[in-house]
Amino acid sequence: MARDFYEVLGVDRKANQDEIKKAYRQLARESHPDRNPDDPEAEERFKEIQQANDALSDPEKRKQYDAGGMFSGLGGAPGGGGFPGGGFSGDVGDIFSNLFGRGRGGGTEPRAAAGRDLETEVNLSFDQAVHGTQITVTVPTTGPCPTCGGTGAEPGTSPRVCPRCEGRGIDSQSQGFFSISQPCPECGGAGQLIDDPCATCGGQGITRQTKRYRVNIPAGVHDGSRIRLAGKGEAGIRGGPQGDLYVTTRVAPSTVFKQRPDGNLEVELPVTLPEAIQGATVEVPTIDGSKRIRIPPGTRHGSTQRLRGEGPPRTSGKGRGDIYYRVALDVPGELNDEQREAVEGLAKAFNGSDPREDLLKQAARSDGSGKVDD
């Protein structure tokens, strides 16, 4: 349930507008998320304070609130208020266009600039990367100043249109045939002047803030995949669009599954000599458990068997990748008597066949000497 707005600001129901303003400014400073980087509640509290101030600082809205009118629907949806400035991480672009639209003069809008993009990284386990997950990222960013709401002017005052450039932010001077344009020296290109700059942001209207976002990590991301969160970058300037946030995934390697550049997985699969010679059905690990695959007779070391559709989902969204099992002949270091006897028998049976015969012949040909050196 949303708390009573008077309670949030810690003021009496009969408090005058000055007392409300004072209480709000004090609280907004104390609970600013910038000042409480380790307190996850700070942002929520901050929103609440903004909301309360929005409702109570405007005598009209306050009357309605007191009458239980337009704010009655807010109970179940804290932070979802439909009045401007209510949402701290709300649409900053809108807040800016409202503010700067008001101060506009001379019919020309001051130039807007897009906010900077931000970059961050998240560390994932192999399992999280393969199956997807939700992760919270904390990013240092910028947002509208909580004290002045983004105007850059002390609360109670407002910026005025620059008289020199009439709000255009550009100073044009004719010199003969040429008209030379430069940023207005009076307002520095902002198009407006702030006589009484806000103490919190120094008149910038923007402060450094720490924000947390829940990021949906889709299944099948790789080490180095980038996820774009549109509009979660730094605040735009003078109504410009917000930048984007790019999240790069760092995936801890698995001891079993290697991520191949093509998005499929590879597993080194030990196979005994008899299995490779005679063929066998063997159990192999998959990302969801295990499966059985057929090793055909005469399987060579280093060859691969593929299980289609058993890999992680493709990031293109089209189905799932494959898992390749690369056969590694398992050569035992120690043998028991029975095995030794069997290997001796095998050696005898293979006596006279030299698998290197072709290799040596080919090497001799390419050498051109026609002789094989020892």
- Residues 229, 120: Cα–Cα separation, whole Å: 11
Shortest spacing between CB 310 and Zn ion, in angstroms: 56
Shortest spacing between CB 21 and Zn ion, in angstroms: 14
Cα distances (angstroms) measured from residue 284 to each of 289, 290, 292, 304, 321: 9, 5, 6, 13, 16
C-alpha 141: how far from its chain's center?
13
**Nearest to Zn ion of 130, 237 (CB atom):** 237
Shortest spacing between CB 234 and Zn ion, in angstroms: 16
One character per residue 54-93, x = contact with Zn ion (rule: CB under 5 A)? ----------------------------------------
Shortest spacing between CB 85 and Zn ion, in angstroms: 13
Shortest spacing between CB 108 and Zn ion, in angstroms: 11
Characterize the bridge pairing of strands 118-124 and 245-251. Answer: parallel
Q: Which of residues 139-168 bind Zn ion (CB under 5 A)?
A: 145, 147-148, 162, 164-165
Q: Which of residues 316-335 bind Zn ion (CB under 5 A)?
A: none
Q: Which of residues 179-218 bind Zn ion (CB under 5 A)?
A: 184, 186-187, 198, 200-201
Shortest spacing between CB 136 and Zn ion, in angstroms: 28
**Nearest to Zn ion of 73, 106 (CB atom):** 106
**Nearest to Zn ion of 144, 321 (CB atom):** 144
Rg (CA), the chain: 35
Please name the residue that has the structure tokens 């290799």: 359
- Residues 210, 207: Cα–Cα separation, whole Å: 10
Our finding on whether 34 is near Zn ion (CB under 5 A) is no
- The token pair that represents 2 in the structure block: 């949303």
- Residues 203, 191: Cα–Cα separation, whole Å: 14
Cα distances (angstroms) measured from residue 265 to each of 74, 290, 292, 313, 370: 50, 14, 17, 11, 45
- Give the angle subtended at the CA of 121 by the CAs of 209 and 263, to the nearest 5°: 150
Contact footprint for Zn ion (CB under 5 A): 145, 147-148, 162, 164-165, 184, 186-187, 198, 200-201
